[in-house]
Structure 1
Amino acid sequence: MTTSKFQSPVTICQTTDPTTEFPVSQDHTGQQAATGPQITLYSTAICPYCVAAKNFLKSKGQTWTEVRIDLDPAERDKMVALAKRTSVPQIFVGDIHVGGYDDMMAMHRAGKLEPLFAAAGGQA
């Protein structure tokens, strides 16, 4: 019998039990709330771009308020009214609509995201 040194590139992802109740929104502001920019991230439970956006914000030392639109249709309606888009994530820094994950990363690559964080009262 031979053993293979091949490692599968597939990562097993854990899913949440569909009966699990989630809060309508989660506050990820921690202790930075008084000094950080108000970042609002509209998301759903099964959105990989939402996860990527949260990981990026965390890597930048930012905090945010997450609004789960899959749990509250009124929050989805509010997001669509504000962003004029139906996709998630939708990210706001203060009253400024950044857009989705790709938009946020484009702003970061162009050097425009960190100044926006700073102007909104957070760290760059």
Structure 2
Amino acid sequence: MSDAPAITIYTTAICPYCVAAKNFLKSKGRDWTEVRVDTDPAEREKMIARTRRTSVPQIFIGDTHVGGYDDMMALHRAGKLEALLEGAGA
């Protein structure tokens, strides 16, 4: 998986969907970079500018904005998430 795209998740400490997203990615054997927006207002501003959303989690696979947990699971159910995780695009 060395050429698989990096995963970035914008999260807060008390977000059950953030936990669910991380548990799902862990079940897929994937690692991610977690950006806590509750402890760093500058990162929250960066997330909002990048996604135009204020809710967490916001998930990026490579440069692709997947969205939140529900968005990621919808991609998974549609059979498109695995290709994205492998770097093939959605």
TM range (shorter): over 0.9
Map 1:99-118 onto structure 2 (within 5 A). Answer: 99-118=67-86
Q: Which has the higher helix share?
A: 2
* Counterpart AA for 1:119: G
Contiguous gaps of at least 5 residues in structure 1:
1-31
Structure 2 CA distance, aligned partners of 1:51 and 1:64? 13
Amino acid corresponding to residue 13 of structure 2 in structure 1: A
Instruction: Give the total of aligned pairs.
Output: 88
Seq. identity, %: 74
TM-score (norm 2): 0.93
1:71 and 2:46 correspond: no
Runs (4+) of structure 1 moved beyond 3 Å?
Answer: none
Deviations 1:25-71 (A, max 9, x none): xxxxxxx6x54421000000000000000000000011100000000
In our comparison, the structure showing a higher alpha carbon Rg is 1
What is the TM-score normalised by the length of structure 1?
0.68
Greater relative contact order, per chain length (Cα 8 Å cut-off, separation 6+)? 2
